[in-house]
Amino acid sequence: VICQSGYRSSIAASMLESAGFANVFNVTGGTAAWIASGLPVETVSAAGAAVSTK
């Protein structure tokens, strides 16, 4: 589960685990940490086409 900062996704992950879901993972630091680490992302251009950045 991922959100911008990792806070909301940690709550969502806990809720999913409490509901019985297995193998639930939270991306610590969220998308901000993901991008800061230089990991690949996809963005949408103004025309609506997905653009992959690696």
Give the model's confidence band at 5: pLDDT under 50 very low, under 70 low, under 90 confident, else very high. Answer: very high
The residues facing 43 across adjacent strands are 51
Domain assignment of residue 25, given as a range: 7-53
Encode pLDDT of 9-54 as tens digits.
Answer: 999 999 999 999 999 999 999 999 999 999 999 888 777 666 666 6
Q: Is residue 2 part of a domain?
A: no
The residues facing 50 across adjacent strands are 44
Greater confidence (2 vs 49) lies with: 2
CB 1 within 8 A of CB 16: yes
pTM over 0.75? The answer is no
Domain count, the chain: 1
Q: Is residue 34 part of a domain?
A: yes
Q: Is residue 1 part of a domain?
A: no
- Describe the chain by its helix, strand, coil percentages, rounded to 5: 35, 15, 50
**How many C-beta atoms surround the C-beta of residue 3 within 10 A?**
16
Q: Cα–Cα distance between 49 and 51 in angstroms, integer?
A: 6
